[in-house]
Chains A and B, each alone.
Chain A
Amino acid sequence: AQSVAQPEDQVNVAEGNPLTVKCTYSVSGNPYLFWYVQYPNRGLQFLLKYITGDNLVKGSYGFEAEFNKSQTSFHLKKPSALVSDSALYFCAVRDRTGRRALTFGSGTRLQVQP
């Protein structure tokens, strides 16, 4: 079985400050990991993914995420938050075997205050 936990329903951060959105996962073996963002009344947009290689993955809009195998985490980060980053963020995981599709977390709402 595979699962994803996003422990925070909402994260509040001031514009210009660094932000972190947390994600932990559970899979059999090594994972594929993804982050998506959803703006109001829109579908999900792909931000970044970890497949293999460097544990630090860089994605769209200045976001990055660090794969930590020992802590089974894949936290999303950005050095300096923008008000326009305010949105709903989803972490997703898939194991490398079988034919299961992605499992998504419940989402974390990021609110960046001016």
Chain B
Amino acid sequence: ETGVTQTPRHLVMGMTNKKSLKCEQHLGHNAMYWYKQSAKKPLELMFVYSLEERVENNSVPSRFSPECPNSSHLFLHLHTLQPEDSALYLCASSRGTSGEQETQYFGPGTRLLVL
């Protein structure tokens, strides 16, 4: 185990539902990340938080809303998603966001299916 947990591991939701993904890290890290992994596409960085401040937002649609209440927890709130949003959502954490501190440790992911 990497010290990064994600819940739920699997989620099926309709396009009108609202749900949240949760990530928790037990490594004492200061930075946390959300990635989207779709079949046959490169890993897509969605959001980066450093010391609970959002430092990067890669043109992600507003139907994805991140929240970082403290350095150990990261949420991804989902609403009115589309079927093309079905993917594996990965959370990661790192000590910092600069160079050597940026070795990222990943959670197991949440497999999301939007119907």
Contact = CB atoms under 8 A, between A and B. Distances in A.
Contacts of A104: 42-43, 45
A105 B44 CA distance: 10
B55 interface: yes
A90 B2 contact: no
A94 B99 contact: yes
A49 B45 contact: no
Contacts of B4: 43
Given A43-B2, A104-B42, A105-B42, A51 B106 contact: no
Interface string B21-56: 000000000000100000001110100100000011
Contacts of A44: 43, 90, 92, 104, 106
B82 to A, nearest CB: 23
Interface residues of B, number: 26
B45 A32 contact: no
A99 B55 contact: yes
A99 B111 CA distance: 29
29 contacts: A32-B99, A32-B100, A34-B103, A34-B104, A41-B108, A41-B111, A43-B4, A43-B6, A43-B90, A43-B109, A44-B43, A44-B106, A45-B2, A46-B104, A46-B105, A49-B103, A51-B100, A90-B43, A94-B99, A101-B33, A101-B45, A101-B56, A101-B97, A101-B102, A103-B45, A104-B43, A105-B42, A106-B42, A107-B42
Interface of B: 2, 4, 6, 33, 41-43, 45, 48, 55-56, 90, 92, 97-100, 102-109, 111
Interface of A: 32, 34, 36, 41-46, 49, 51, 90, 94, 96, 99-107
Given A46-B105, A102-B102, 9 more contacts: A34-B104, A46-B103, A51-B100, A100-B56, A101-B45, A101-B56, A101-B97, A104-B43, A106-B41
